[in-house]
């Protein structure tokens, strides 16, 4: 009798109580005919964190774990602890997926950048144009890196313009260097007609502060943009509602979350990921 492999995947981060990654990955395993589980590993950001994550990595090296995702606040720590890094992880400066290579080393990958690009293409955005990114934190790094390396001209607007400038300068290698500006009506107004995609990477509008919006109240949205909000809780933020009311296409962050998970699943199993199954499981779990 042949022993079938029981896959053990998991997520390191803190807090994790609201994560829907287990439902998404369990659905992918069930659909693909794989036995296994996806477990949460909450690790607080304290002086024990490095040791606890290194310990989980040793399980991955030994083969008692088969794949790990990493989320806030440990994406930079995972970058330091991995044995080697993909070009994307290096460029973004953060690791959200850890995989064991055949030679036993742990590869740090970033699937957020590819996940985001996959999702905007899925919504019909193909040729590289002009993107306006609101916020310059962790998720903005992946979005800006992905867009800039796919040939987009990227504007980064942040309330602390020096944070936007630092992010713009840290993106090495693209043909068109990202530009920074302040997140206020005066600075944004003259850029609006050229914007093809507007992306919110700030937490403004996320549950429970659902009445907040990152967009200045006295400014119309760009007239011809697809409006993309990385937030997926709630499924329709105030920003997306305004976009829809102005007749603009509006997309929430569930597709990106499913796509980054799908890329991780494919890396861990070597099988094609059932993206639609994962997105469906995610939306069902978020609505439960
Ligand atoms: P982060 O690293 O904390 O960055 C947040 C950014 O938003 C920073 O630039 C921050 O500026 C800015 N910001 C915060 N409050 C603001 C305010 N009141 N006005 C203007 N700017 C403000 O957070 P993150 O990890 O990038 O996550 C951001 C959001 O993206 C979260 O809602 C998260 O759930 C979502 N997300 C979704 C996905 C997905 O797959 N769909 C993936 C990752 C993240 P300061 O530094 O000045 O505070």
pLDDT in tens, 91-145: 999 999 999 999 999 999 999 999 999 999 999 988 899 999 999 999 999 999 9
- Residue nearest ligand 1's atom 17 by CA: 204
Within 10 A of 32 (CB to CB), how many other CB atoms are there?
A: 16
> What CA–CA distance (Å, rounded) separates 2 from 247?
57
**From the CA of 30, how far away is ligand 1's center (Å)?**
33
Instruction: Kindly give the number of the ligand 1 atom that is closest to the alpha carbon of 257.
Output: 40
Long-range CB contacts for residues 227-230, cutoff 8 Å, separation at least 24: 227/197, 227/198, 227/200, 227/251, 228/119, 228/120, 228/123, 228/197, 228/198, 228/199, 228/200, 228/253, 229/199, 229/200, 229/205, 229/253, 230/116, 230/139, 230/143, 230/199, 230/200, 230/201, 230/256
Q: For residues 184-206, give the mean pLDDT.
A: 97
> What CA–CA distance (Å, rounded) separates 139 from 245?
26
DSSP state of 4: P
Q: Are 89 and 110 in contact (CB under 8 A)?
A: yes
* Residue 173 pLDDT grade (very low, low, confident, very high; cuts 50, 70, 90): confident
Instruction: Kindly give the number of the ligand 1 atom that is closest to the alpha carbon of 72.
Output: 25
The residue to mutate among 143, 159, 211, having the most atoms of ligand 1 within 8 angstroms of its beta carbon, is 159
Span 215-267, pLDDT tens digits: 999 999 999 999 999 999 999 999 999 999 999 999 999 999 999 999 999 99
Residue 174 structure tokens = 């693209």
> What CA–CA distance (Å, rounded) separates 38 from 216?
40
């Amino acid at each position: 009798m042949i022993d079938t492999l029981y896959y053990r995947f998991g997520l390191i981060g803190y807090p994790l109580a609201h994560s829907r990654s287990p439902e998404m990955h369990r659905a992918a395993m069930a659909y693909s005919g794989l036995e296994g589980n996806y477990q949460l590993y909450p690790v607080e950001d304290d002086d024990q964190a490095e040791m606890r994550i290194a310990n989980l990595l040793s399980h991955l090296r030994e083969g008692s774990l088969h794949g790990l995702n990493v989320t806030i606040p440990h994406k930079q720590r995972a970058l330091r602890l991995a044995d080697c890094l993909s070009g994307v992880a290096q460029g973004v400066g953060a690791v959200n997926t850890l995989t064991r290579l055949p030679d036993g080393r742990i590869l740090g990958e970033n699937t957020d950048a590819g996940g985001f690009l996959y999702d905007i293409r899925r919504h019909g955005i193909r040729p590289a144009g002009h993107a306006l990114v609101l916020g310059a934190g962790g998720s903005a790094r992946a979005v800006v890196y992905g867009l800039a390396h796919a040939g987009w001209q990227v504007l980064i607007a942040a309330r602390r313009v020096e944070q936007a400038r630092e992010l713009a300068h840290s993106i090495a290698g693209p043909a068109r260097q990202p530009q920074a500006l302040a997140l206020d009506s005066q600075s944004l107004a003259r850029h609006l007609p050229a914007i093809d995609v507007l992306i919110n990477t700030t937490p403004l509008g996320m549950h429970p502060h659902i009445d907040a919006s990152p967009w200045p109240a006295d400014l119309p949205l760009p007239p011809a943009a697809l409006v993309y909000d990385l937030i997926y809780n709630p499924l329709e933020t105030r920003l997306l509602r305004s976009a829809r009311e102005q007749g603009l296409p509006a997309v929430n962050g569930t597709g990106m979350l499913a796509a980054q998970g799908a890329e991780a699943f494919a890396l861990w199993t070597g099988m094609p990921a059932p993206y639609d199954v994962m997105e469906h499981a995610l939306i069902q779990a978020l609505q439960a």
